Amino acid sequence: MADIIKLLPDHVANQIAAGEVVQRPASVVKELLENALDAGATQIKLIIKDGGKALIQVVDNGIGMSATDARLSFERHATSKIQKAEDLFNLSTKGFRGEALASIAAIAHVEMQTKPEADEVGTHLKIEGSEVVYQEVAVTPKGTSIAVKNLFFNIPARRNFLKSNQVELRHITDEFHRVALAHPSVAFHFYNNGSELFNLPADNYRKRIVHVFGSRTNEKLVPVEEETPIVKIKGFITKPEFAKKSRGEQFFFVNDRFIKSPYLHHAVVAAFEGLIKPDAFPGYFLYLQVDPGSIDINIHPTKTEVKFDDEHTLYAILRSTIKHSLGQFNVAPALDFDH
């Protein structure tokens, strides 16, 4: 029989990868914000039009890219963040797969302007459906701006599957919240269709939470703090009387990355046992720091799931820490740490 297996061309492989990486405009927002953070930005601007269908732009003041790197950043598996397999077990960056920009450029019109601080001039690069339209020298500020237009322009089924602008904006806002809450020391601006939705100055954790969710949040927060050899926990839970019927403000961050964990969620809820109705949910903003070698975040392309080495111990520590904080709050309701 004749050989029939062929390697797929890059642009096809990229489009397949994009299927996993880019579910909707909010996925692009997440990837671009994380790249800006990995670039060491202290100020990040997010600009959206029409729920991200017309435009998603992220402007940062990070390290920027050389002309060669700017081009290479759109290749699949091209990354400055890891070099060898062992690096996967000691990650300190949000990204490491080298897939996001290649995926996004395969299914959208992308325009990048970037300049490292030390360089006189920068690079302006346009790429559509994995094809470079042009790359030229440009006068541009330090840092990187990436604009993504016409998402899914070449995948009508995906484009049609998108929800209303309002719903897509809600997903984007959720993603923005997660990133902004994880990085209070970074200033964020968020504009939608020309109007400012958020203007978050660099802050501490409590102030960032209050800035994002409104001033009435402040009185709801009970501080949580614990340090053990396997985990450092900081953050806040909401007072039992503010528990809600609907799921809402519940955030776990592990090493500054938002994660979803039904198991750890259960640990928090268990700590509230007897204090809230069985069908109510407490709010929480919990920041866990663990040894990067004790977790695996390479489970899914979106990296919102984490595998912990010792999940059961973590569960026990978390539950008892929160019980303790709730106890302290009952005895001394005026206690108020600033993080």
Q: Which residues bind ligand ADP (CB under 6 A)?
A: 31, 35-36, 38-39, 60, 62-65, 73, 78-81, 95-102, 144
As measured in angstroms, the least distance from the Cβ of 176 to ligand ADP is 16
Q: Which of residues 89-128 bind Mg ion (CB under 5 A)?
A: 95, 100
Give the separation between CA 26 and CA 247, rounded to whole angstroms.
20
Q: Contact letters (x/-) for Mg ion, 49-88, by CB under 5 A?
A: ----------------------------------------
As measured in angstroms, the least distance from the Cβ of 65 to ligand ADP is 5
| Nearest residue to 315 via CA among 280, 246, 269 | 269
- Per-residue exposure over 89-110, b if at least 16 CB sit within 10 Å of its own CB, e if not: eebebbbbbbbbbbbbbbbbbb
Q: Are 81 and 96 in contact (CB under 8 A)?
A: yes
Given Mg ion, ligand ADP, none, residue 63, with its beta carbon under 5 to 8 Å by kind, binds ligand ADP
> Closest residue (Cβ) to ligand ADP?
95
Q: Quick one: 79 or 261, whose CB is closer to ligand ADP?
A: 79
Close Cβ partners of 16 (under 8 Å, ≥ 6 residues apart): 8
Give the separation between CA 220 and CA 164, rounded to whole angstroms.
33
Given ligand ADP, Mg ion, none, residue 81, with its beta carbon under 5 to 8 Å by kind, binds ligand ADP
Q: Quick one: 102 or 322, whose CB is closer to Mg ion?
A: 102
Close Cβ partners of 143 (under 8 Å, ≥ 6 residues apart): 39, 41, 59, 60, 61, 62, 63, 64, 114, 115
The Cβ of residue 184 has, within 10 Å, a number of other Cβ atoms equal to 22
As measured in angstroms, the least distance from the Cβ of 35 to Mg ion is 4
Given Mg ion, ligand ADP, none, residue 168, with its beta carbon under 5 to 8 Å by kind, binds none
Give the three-state DSSP class for 115.
strand
173 forms beta bridges with none
As measured in angstroms, the least distance from the Cβ of 278 to ligand ADP is 42
Residue reference for tokens 């397949």:
16
Give the separation between CA 66 and CA 312, rounded to whole angstroms.
46
Residue 210 near Mg ion by CB under 5 A: no
As measured in angstroms, the least distance from the Cβ of 312 to ligand ADP is 31
As measured in angstroms, the least distance from the Cβ of 322 to Mg ion is 33
Q: Quick one: 73 or 217, whose CB is closer to ligand ADP?
A: 73
Given Mg ion, ligand ADP, none, residue 249, with its beta carbon under 5 to 8 Å by kind, binds none
| Nearest residue to 40 via CA among 198, 200, 183, 201 | 183
As measured in angstroms, the least distance from the Cβ of 170 to Mg ion is 23
As measured in angstroms, the least distance from the Cβ of 101 to ligand ADP is 4
The binder of Mg ion chosen from 35, 61, 140, 261 (CB under 5 A):
35
Chain-centroid distance, C-alpha 96: 14
Residue 155 structure tokens: 């995948």
Q: Quick one: 35 or 173, whose CB is closer to Mg ion?
A: 35
Amino acid at 216: R
Q: Quick one: 125 or 231, whose CB is closer to ligand ADP?
A: 125
Given ligand ADP, Mg ion, none, residue 255, with its beta carbon under 5 to 8 Å by kind, binds none
Residues near Mg ion (CB under 5 A): 35, 95, 100
